[in-house]
Amino acid sequence: MFLLKKPVSSSIWIGLALFFVSFGIYSATLARTIGFIDSGELAWASATLGIPHPTGYPLYTLLTYLFVSALPFLEPIVAINFFSALAVSAATVGFFLF
């Protein structure tokens, strides 16, 4: 029988719930097409590993390129928006925990 030496903190459970709630809300309202302002340019850069306007957003471009490559069955803009949903949900939990 596996016994925990220390009970799991309630803040971990709240953080997980916060992640899933925020991811669910963001996913339900996800843009399925290219929006306005920079979304088309960033989608192009993420799908082709190109360089958008300065500053270039190198980490975002690289991570979304990898995410688009990992999900080839999705349209690139949908995969990029799902990545953004994951990133926002993780940032929400990080903000809550720290």
Asked if the peptide bond before residue 55 counts as cis, ω within 30 degrees of 0, the response is yes
The predicted-structure confidence for 28-71, as pLDDT tens digits, reads as follows 998 888 878 888 888 888 888 888 888 888 899 999 999 999 99
pLDDT of residue 88: 94
Query: In angstroms, what CA-CA distances link 94 with 5, 57, 65, 87?
Result: 25, 21, 23, 10
CB atoms within 10 A of CB 76: 20
Q: Which residues contact 32 (CB under 8 A, 6 or more apart)?
A: 75, 77, 78, 81
pLDDT of residue 97: 83
Q: Which two tokens stand for residue 3?
A: 């016994």
